[in-house]
């Protein structure tokens, strides 16, 4: 019985140790998997895929968005069924992500999700939402470091749209008017969590340039 009790004690210690390691490395694991998912979607994206994905349905109910978890990221890696519509880059803070259709868990585990079903790049208020993670290199986390006057870029591989950041504030989650179209304005709006999810970061930029996509100007997304 003593040997049995001793063995059980060692097993318990091993289990506690493994759980401790998982807790310690939970965020780095999520960050690594998210970055891998995003890079795969960015590297393999083609104009034909974008056209096909534009015709697919998306989930646009923000109330259904869940906190990102390791299980969801692993599931996304295995299913690989996010629907990319283009690419997003904020070079000053090292943010480079696919733009994906809608606000599903799969979409938001991959990149920036479109917030409205009818939005078009370069027109109206093109709004994207993304998860904030404690690792500043993952998803929309780097936006916390962005500054007014810096540039944001989006592309559908046909054109590259350049925006200058003119607005950055922590806002109430109910400030949904920020993603509405504004008469006469062409905006890019990026939304992510702030204050542990209690509030939201909102960044907006005005369109200052629109160019046909070339190898040179697409380099900003690489």
Write out the chain's pLDDT in tens, 222 residues: 555 455 554 454 444 333 333 333 456 777 788 888 888 888 889 999 999 999 998 898 877 887 877 777 777 766 667 899 999 999 999 999 999 999 988 898 899 999 999 999 999 999 999 998 875 668 999 999 999 999 999 999 999 999 999 999 999 998 999 999 999 999 999 999 988 889 999 999 999 999 999 999 999 999
Contact 54, 85 (CB under 8 A): yes
Please confirm, yes or no, whether 202 is among the known catalytic residues: no
Query: What are the phi and psi torsion angles at 151 (to 5°)?
Result: -105, 145
Domains and CATH numbers, the chain: 2-221 (2.40.260.10)
Token readout for 147 is 């500054």
Q: Is 131 a catalytic residue?
A: yes
pLDDT averaged over every residue in the chain: 85
Strand partners of residue 182 = none
Residue 150 phi, psi dihedral angles, 5° rounding: -75, 165
Q: What does the H/E/C string look like for the chain?
A: CHHHHHHHHHHHHHHHHHHHHHHHHHHHHHHHHHHHHHHHHHHHCCHHHHHHHHCCCCCCCHHHCCCCCHHHHHHHHHHCCCCEEEEEEEHHHCEEEEEECCCCHHHHCCCEEECCCCCCCCCCEEEEECCECCCCCCECHHHHHCCCCCEEEEECCCEEEEEEEEEEEEECCCCHHHHCCCCCCCEEEEEEEEHHHCEEEEEEEEEEEEEECCCCHHHHHC
153/162 Cα distance (integer angstroms): 5
| Predicted pLDDT at 169 | 97
What pLDDT digit, counting tens, does each position of 100-114 carry? 999 988 898 899 999
**Predicted local confidence at residue 76, as pLDDT:** 72
Q: Catalytic: which of 115, 138, 152, 193?
A: 193
Model pLDDT, residue 31: 77
Q: What is the pTM of this model?
A: 0.85
Point out the catalytic residue in the list 131, 139, 146, 194: 131
């Amino acid at each position: 019985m003593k040997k049995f009790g001793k063995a059980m004690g060692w097993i318990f210690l091993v289990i506690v140790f493994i759980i401790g390691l998982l807790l310690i490395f939970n965020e780095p694991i999520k960050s690594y998997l998210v970055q891998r998912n995003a890079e795969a979607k960015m590297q393999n994206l083609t104009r034909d895929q974008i056209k096909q994905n534009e015709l697919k349905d998306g989930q646009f109910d923000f109330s259904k968005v869940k906190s990102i978890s390791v299980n969801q990221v692993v599931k996304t890696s295995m299913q690989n069924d996010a629907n990319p519509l283009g690419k997003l880059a904020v070079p000053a803070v090292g943010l480079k992500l696919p733009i994906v259709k809608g606000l599903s868990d799969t979409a938001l585990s991959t990149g920036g999700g479109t917030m409205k079903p009818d939005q078009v790049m370069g027109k109206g208020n093109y709004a994207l939402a993304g998860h904030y993670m404690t690792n500043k290199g993952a998803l929309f986390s780097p936006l916390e470091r962005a500054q007014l006057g810096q540039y944001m870029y989006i592309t559908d591989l046909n054109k590259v749209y350049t925006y200058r950041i003119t607005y950055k504030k922590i806002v109430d989650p109910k400030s949904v008017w920020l993603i509405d179209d504004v008469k006469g304005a062409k905006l890019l709006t990026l939304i992510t969590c702030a204050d542990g999810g209690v509030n939201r970061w909102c960044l907006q930029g005005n369109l200052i340039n629109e160019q046909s996509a070339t190898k040179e100007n697409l380099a900003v997304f690489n």
